[in-house]
Structure 1
Amino acid sequence: MRASRSSTSSPTGRRAPTSRRSASRNACPIASHPGGTVVVMGEERIDPADWDATIADADGPQLVVGGPGTGKTEFLVRRATHLIDSGVATPDEVLLLSFSRRGSAGLRSRIQDSLTDTHAELDASTFHSFSFRLLETYAADALGWQQMPTLLTSLEYVLRVRALLSSGDETDWPVLFRGLLDTTTFAEEVADFMLRCSELLIGSEDLAGFNRDDWRALPSFMTRYRAETLADHRIDYGTLQASAVAALDDEATLAEVAERYRYVLVDEYQDTTLAQAALLRRLVSGGSHLTVAADPYQSIYSFRGADLENVATFPEAFAAPDGTPGARRVLTTSFRAPAEILDAAVKLTEGLELPGASGPVIPADGTGSVETYVFDQATREAEWIADEIQLLHSGGLPYRSMAVFVRSKRRFLPGLSRALERRGIPHAQPDSRLSDHPAVRAVFDCVTAATASGPESSLAVRRLLLGPLFRLPIGRLRELERDRARDPRPWADIIEQSVADGSPLANLLRAPEWAENRPAVDGFWHLWQSLPQFVHLVVDPNRSEERAAWSSFSQVLGRLYDRDRSASLCDFVRWSEEESFEAQPLLDFRDQGVDRVTVTTLHQSKGLEFDVVFIADAVDGVFPDLRSRESLIGTRHLAAHLPTAPNEYRRFRLQEETRLAYTAMTRARLRVVWTATTAGLDEGEGAPSPLLVRLAPADPGPPADDDRLPVTTGQAEAWLRRMAADPSIPEPRRLAAMHSLAAGTDWQLREPTLFAGLHPPGPDTGLAPDELLLSPSQAGLYETCPRRYAIERRLRVGADPTVYLAFGSLIHKVLELTEKNAIEDGRTHGTTAEALEQLELQWDPAPFGGRPWADAWKRRGKEALAFAYEHWPHPGATPIALEHKLTLDVDGVSWRGIADRIEAEDGHVRIVDYKTSRSRPNAEETAASLQLGFYLLAAAADPDITGHGSPDAGELWMVAMQNVKSFPVVTFDPANLGDVEQRLRDVAAGIAGERWEAAPHDRCDRCPVQLVCPAWPQGAKAYQS
């Protein structure tokens, strides 16, 4: 609906609505805000016409509150400009603080552009940067430091904590933690705990005052850590902030700092920690004039220590000595978000009731739209977004005016990036790290391919061969992968023999010393000089950004060498995988002049604005992300503003995730598009996000693309081919489509003879390698149907993992971890409580389709684990091994498998295999099970097992069956061992002889390879030429 409003000039140059007047100054308005209704006392509501007078009134502490697009940052820019241009303050008397480097750089740039004297030097920085400079200047006098410590990186901080943990007295710690003291995971927990203590200004004595038994060792450890770290002239970010506050407690230091910075302007105040708010209070007490800008509904960083109460309590916290509260000024009008977008965002936040909110916001002029779409495949979602961006750009919208936001960059962004690259759409993350740049990731892939093993190494090789260094076609890569599946060989051999100019890469993979043992910068230069493919990219005139990235990367490695000469390139790659790791180059590696789409996370969207915003991958279980983030030592219980009860904390998390959606939506000036993929429960995807559903007018579905015309020649070809093959389309249109395809070469389509068709049948030979490496699960599948085995295991064609497989993997993992802890404690098995705790730690709702399906699967898991531990079979048996690898050689063929549990009792050894099916297997089939029989044969040849007794029992434990009174156990009959060994020989002979005949049976109707099985009519057509 279009609203008609009169307008006036806004501070950003747009027309701002003024037909609705806010309450007068110093009134007591009743304001309807996104969370409901609230009465705010003593505030001033500022319309656009009031800006000039309000900006000039800059003395005293002031809180400027405003909704999205109301000009909070612009207000600070114009106030700083007024102070300097009017002569009220010199540039070096104005301090500008923001939450991020991007925010502070933006403030500095905008103010410099608006000043009369464009050469004025402005002091704009983050809180941490300001604290560092403050301590650098005053710590000697205020704190007695002899020199300024070196700031620890996040990784160095964790490693230092780990070193101190492992070298201390473990008896100081609760028994639960003693076995973890030398682990990196526990060091990360303790490091984060101390960081939060610093942000909350909690010292060792304060911490001891909590009187928590599980924290009893932490006060003394904190004292030891801080003393030894400062003695080594090192400091972490948390201690840096707390020390800056402590330095301002020195009266002489405070007086000098406050005299220097007469005016302090702070953006994004809702993201400040308690320590940062305390630093500002000290500056005000020293005489500085403070202006902060905030929107409580954009507070999304509680996991980084942000305290939303800082906004609500500002008037009282910054009250004058005579009790006069700090001023609260509210900006009433949005210059960005139209009514349709603003109303939809407010709809999401109904009921949140945040204290200190801005009240009603007058929307910007014009109309907007909010759309919701749901797809059946994630690739379809990514392709549609890329098509839509391309279509909008072809209509004249610059790429820089569009953005795609996601909750997790690891899930959806890789596929979206590929879809954008295929269309030649430039895109980048505004806050992406240098280590995330594709040019640098190619270097990382070389390191991973050379030093890792298993799937991780293969994936890195795959990325290298498909990437710009080699540009191998996907079909050729799949041929190499099939060759390797038939004949397992090192990738180095395959690359050397089958990839053009592949020998240099093969040599690097065979001898990884360059990545593991040399200093990182030396390893990089060795790689650079050894791989000639880099030369082709360096001389390409269209690869300027890659060249800049590599230059910056070498500079970062040079700085690393100055700090730590022992760090290898392999170390650097491992560190960079941490989300908190940042390698900040001195040289910018991005061409800022390129028109590109912004692709980033929802959290990084704050402070940005676009015409069109896509919020993608909005799947329940992903967004909102309500997974348990409870730390082992309960870090969140430090903060008084965070709920302690689990249900209340979950509600707090949901509120923050909702505010995250609100923030992302209100970045848009014209259009917001929500998208999700829900492919059905069996495929492991579930419902769209409840946030998306709340905005959808009815059941959301895919976009209506029928009338959309193609944009590219590739799209045109696909559009015409669909039309030609669709019997529901009128014949004249189908004939016209065929005519256009036949004449397609006139407008750059492919020759019709090149369209995909049916290949003639190929041979059934060449699938089995010369040296077989088999498993009992392979043998079972081959016995059931050799054809299906060949297709699924040898050609790697089959169904996607199902939700049932995800459930089985989850229960196996929970049982493994629970039993591992029990073995370490000397117990025969774990407890129900321990298993349920592990379930909470391992739980991820995304593979189960989000709520309500994920809740049902979680409930099933709880029931299964509770029943299993309450009716544990053989409670007196002693566990020997978990997830134990077993190997066996039968007539020159190597067999291997992994047993879930091996336990000993009364001189006998039992092999256990967990099953999570709800149906009990046939007792006769289990008595002759290939899998259990193999385990017993292999265990009998394993001295680590036979030392505990004779392996003569094999059992299936049905941990997820329902409506049973006792634990369902199905046993193997050792009398069948001879038959099992012969069946293993027969299977090996059949695979080696490449006998792949189809074997129809009573479960063929559920076979995932029906469409290519010659025993079925529809499958037989696949082999007709």
Structure 2
Amino acid sequence: MSAVVSPPLVADPFESLNEGQREAVVHGSDGDARALLVIAGAGSGKTMTLAARVAHLIQRGADPHRLLLLTFSRRAAGEMVHRAGRIVHQALRLPSTTRPPSLPWAGTFHAIGARLLRDYAEAIGLPADFTVLDRADAEDLMALVRQSQGLAATKLRFPQKATCLAIYSRVVNSQGTVDGVLREAFPWCLGWEAELGQLFAAYAAAKAQQHSLDFDDLLLYWSALMEAPELSAHVAARFDHVLVDEYQDTNRLQAAILRGLRPDGRGLTVVGDDAQSIYAFRAAEVRNILDFPQQFPQAARVVALERNYRSTQPILEASNAVIAEAPERYAKTLWCDRPSSARPRIVTVPDEMAQARQVADRVLAWREEGIRLKQQAVLFRTAHHSAAVELELTRRRIPFVKFGGLKFLESSHVKDVLAVLRWAENPRSRIAGFRVAQLVPGVGPANARKLLDAMDASATPGGVLPEHAMPAAAREDWAAFAALWSRLRETPAWPADLDAVNAWYLPLLQRLHEDAPARQADLAQLTQIASGYAARERFLTELTLDPPAASSDEAGPPHLDEDYMILSTIHSAKGQEWGAVQILNVVDGCIPSEMSTGDARQIAEERRLLYVGMTRAKQHLELIAPQRFFVSEQARHGDRHVYASLSRFITDKAVACFERVSAQRPPGAEGAPGPSAVPDVKIDLASRVRDRWTR
């Protein structure tokens, strides 16, 4: 009887890793059970390192179903799973027909939180059919509660719904108090602490009554779950390893969740870069990563990845010089083996219009050198900083795409269709019900409220809707909708449910919107997305937590061009890279923003923001410093021009890493001629103007 011979393992499936990456990947193989912190510098291959660590754990016998991988976007989770699967495939020499192991617990904090809360709903007092409010719906609910509390009729200005929700979110995610959050981030709202506390209590009660959670609740309830000794050990025991990407972007609530999952640090790996912590406005807490090693009984092991695979050495030297002045950081010096004679440049220009012309000139010059427009980016601190550049690029016929705009789920037609599904999934959702009921011709706000009040008062709200009397003008259309809604409730079939809703909604779409064909394309995309989910509840939750980026409303000529460049805020550019990068307004007042210089923490984050922008560049980097620029200060002096100096972050040591260039507009260059001397004449024009009214 011949022995069964197993296929030989690859000698070293991780041979392409550098020394630091390998150290991070194999941590624990020598019996070291401490938590692991990987400080991954910009462009140092952190995604590959984390994926390789996942593959290494699986190769050594870890159950893929007991690995928890937490990221900040579904796309990042998918990329990580794909790379890890490919490495495992190579390491074990699996047949090409064998699918690599899946990682069912890979996803965003919010998505994983939603799944766990669904699993433990009965045990923690949540309704099993809870739905998740997107940001717009949460704002609408906050507005309704705000009005019901009498806060819309105050004699003094009370914060609007979006501000109220932002304050609530900041309090929850920072684990702070209303008073503390107002003093730190919303000082213009001071004086309303008591009223806001009452509003938030009523808002929480309204969500509970409607069987709904918002984004912040998904983390808040998960954190509370990990604080309950009756259940926390059970949740933690479901996972052997917990791996977290972009740890510098976590807030205090997320850090508390991780400590609950791994109180001793065993099996915990976090990857991040303190120098790229730039989301304090979302309550991200840089101290999470700075203090991580000391948060466990045994201090965590720290591995730094310093070899950069993105930028040239001169760009890295300039970036290192900027971040080296940070008062508190993990010491690391990015380096690469890509020498270059081209140093990054500091370009001084007279004003914003000259800055716009400089940007366009360089874009075209780089294009002629072989750098496609798609490999070029213009970055800026705040979205409105690019206004002059957008005008100049349009005038010069240089196509561009600006990150931002109308999001897919913010489109009214998409919200309509999803609201029907949400209302069928959760008949106590007043936000979804109020929106959908008024889609039916003949049903107005008053009739919609009467229906919702009747459903709220009933122990079986699903039975109220089909029997509810509507105005005579709406009865036929209402009967058709009630039949659809009842079928969705009683005999759900996914994704056929979405097809049924679309068929009902199509006549309304054509009645409500002149551009119905373009909007139908969005609904077709929604149908395609739905086919990837096994259940309606999972589709609604995942789509709310990680929506597609844009809708047909945002489509424009640049998308149809042969090539186009990128305009982006630095915050939106994080994680991206381009061959050539120009950063606008690198002057005090813009970087750092004059609104973010109130304390040392804000200034430190502004430094990190500039560092993130600089490290997006692969071959060419230019920082542009207009000497004079236009600002809008409606709260103080109105619109005015100001004179600025080079950003305080470009110190004398940093300046030495740059080439200094002055881009003054040459005489006779294209543009409007300057004013000539006023003719030496004397006329009484004022009298002429006055006299025309007395003739």
Distance apart, 1:693 and its partner CA:
5.9
Distance apart, 1:53 and its partner CA:
4.0
**Contact 2:24–2:38 (Cα < 8 Å) also in 1:** no
Which residue matches 2:318? Answer: 344
Distance 2:169 2:15 in 1: 39
Unpaired runs of 5+ residues, structure 2, are: 1-11, 90-97, 185-189, 414-503, 530-544, 631-638, 674-682
Post-superposition Cα deviations, 1:118-162, rounded to whole Å, max 9, x if no partner, equal 554334322112211221222222x11122432223233233233
1:260 alignment partner, SS class:
coil
Which residue matches 1:241? Answer: 219
Identity %: 24
Distance 1:252 1:205, change over 3 A: farther
Instruction: Write out aligned runs for 1:887-898 (5 A).
Output: none
1:125 alignment partner, SS class:
strand
Distance 1:193 1:430, change over 3 A: closer
**Contact 1:268–1:294 (Cα < 8 Å) also in 2:** yes
Distance apart, 1:253 and its partner CA:
4.2
Of stretches 328-337 and 73-82 in structure 1, the one that deviates more from structure 2 is 328-337
Post-superposition Cα deviations, 1:699-739, rounded to whole Å, max 9, x if no partner, equal 96544899xxxxxxxxxxxx9x979xxxxxxxxxxxxxxxx
Distance 1:282 1:363, change over 3 A: same
**Contact 1:348–1:691 (Cα < 8 Å) also in 2:** no
Q: 1:663 aligns with which of 606, 609, 612?
A: 612
Post-superposition Cα deviations, 1:231-283, rounded to whole Å, max 9, x if no partner, equal 11122222221101112334564344334332221111111111100111111
Which residue matches 2:585? Answer: 617
Distance 1:685 1:298, change over 3 A: same
AA matched with 2:609: L
Distance 1:274 1:198 in 2: 9
Distance apart, 1:595 and its partner CA:
5.8
Distance 1:437 1:205 in 2: 32
Q: 1:147 aligns with which of 108, 128, 138?
A: 128
Post-superposition Cα deviations, 1:544-588, rounded to whole Å, max 9, x if no partner, equal xxx6x87227867999xxxxxxxxxxxxxxxxxxxx998856999
**Contact 1:337–1:669 (Cα < 8 Å) also in 2:** yes
Is 2:626 aligned against 1:650? no
1:411 alignment partner, SS class:
helix
Unpaired runs of 5+ residues, structure 1, are: 1-8, 17-45, 441-518, 539-546, 560-579, 629-646, 707-718, 724-755, 758-780, 790-982, 991-1025
Distance apart, 1:371 and its partner CA:
0.6
Which residue matches 2:40? Answer: 66
Which residue matches 1:389? Answer: 363
Give the TM-score of the pair, scaled to structure 2. 0.65
1:293 alignment partner, SS class:
strand
Is 2:669 aligned against 1:687? no
**Contact 1:258–1:286 (Cα < 8 Å) also in 2:** no
**Contact 2:25–2:50 (Cα < 8 Å) also in 1:** no
2:383 alignment partner, SS class:
coil
Distance apart, 1:668 and its partner CA:
1.7
Which residue matches 1:709? Answer: none
AA matched with 2:285: D
Distance 1:521 1:255, change over 3 A: farther
**Contact 2:406–2:553 (Cα < 8 Å) also in 1:** no
Is 2:106 aligned against 1:124? yes
Distance 1:987 1:620 in 2: 51
Post-superposition Cα deviations, 1:418-464, rounded to whole Å, max 9, x if no partner, equal 544566655435666547999x9xxxxxxxxxxxxxxxxxxxxxxxx
Distance 2:507 2:645 in 1: 48
Q: Which has the higher contact order (CA 8 A, sep 6+)?
A: 2
Distance 1:693 1:148 in 2: 54
AA matched with 1:686: Y
Which residue matches 1:411? Answer: 385
Distance 1:340 1:584, change over 3 A: closer
1:300 alignment partner, SS class:
coil
Distance 2:106 2:311 in 1: 28
Instruction: Write out aligned runs for 1:161-200 (5 A).
Output: 161-168=142-149, 178-180=154-156, 183=158, 185-200=159-174
Distance 2:608 2:262 in 1: 30
Distance 1:437 1:160 in 2: 16
1:73 alignment partner, SS class:
helix
Distance apart, 1:301 and its partner CA:
0.9
**Contact 2:580–2:619 (Cα < 8 Å) also in 1:** yes
1:68 alignment partner, SS class:
coil
Post-superposition Cα deviations, 1:604-660, rounded to whole Å, max 9, x if no partner, equal 1211222221112335423321227xxxxxxxxxxxxxxxxxx8x433222211110
Distance 1:436 1:668, change over 3 A: farther
Aligned residues: 537
**Contact 1:67–1:295 (Cα < 8 Å) also in 2:** yes
Distance 1:622 1:556, change over 3 A: farther
Distance apart, 1:306 and its partner CA:
0.9
Distance 1:703 1:329, change over 3 A: same
Which residue matches 1:641? Answer: none
Distance 2:591 2:111 in 1: 33
Of stretches 98-107 and 73-82 in structure 1, the one that deviates more from structure 2 is 98-107
Of stretches 587-596 and 257-266 in structure 1, the one that deviates more from structure 2 is 587-596
Distance 1:225 1:436 in 2: 23
AA matched with 2:611: Y
Is 2:120 aligned against 1:138? yes
Which residue matches 1:76? Answer: 50
AA matched with 2:292: F
Which residue matches 1:260? Answer: 238
Q: 2:569 aligns with which of 572, 597, 601?
A: 601
User: Which protein shows a greater Rg?
Assistant: 1
AA matched with 1:310: N
Distance 1:678 1:699, change over 3 A: farther
Distance 1:203 1:99 in 2: 25
Distance 1:203 1:700, change over 3 A: closer
Distance apart, 1:406 and its partner CA:
1.1
Which residue matches 1:552? Answer: 522
**Contact 2:173–2:251 (Cα < 8 Å) also in 1:** yes
Distance 1:583 1:63, change over 3 A: closer
Distance apart, 1:602 and its partner CA:
0.6
2:575 alignment partner, SS class:
coil
Instruction: Write out aligned runs for 1:293-442 (5 A).
Output: 293-317=271-295, 319=296, 323-355=297-329, 357-367=330-340, 369-412=343-386, 414-420=387-393, 425-429=398-402, 433-434=406-407
**Contact 2:241–2:267 (Cα < 8 Å) also in 1:** yes
2:344 alignment partner, SS class:
strand
AA matched with 1:274: R
**Contact 1:377–1:678 (Cα < 8 Å) also in 2:** yes
Of stretches 65-74 and 250-259 in structure 1, the one that deviates more from structure 2 is 250-259
**Contact 1:520–1:557 (Cα < 8 Å) also in 2:** no
AA matched with 1:130: I
Which residue matches 1:225? Answer: 203
Distance 1:348 1:202 in 2: 32
CA RMSD of aligned residues (A): 4.9
AA matched with 2:65: D
Distance 1:66 1:325, change over 3 A: same
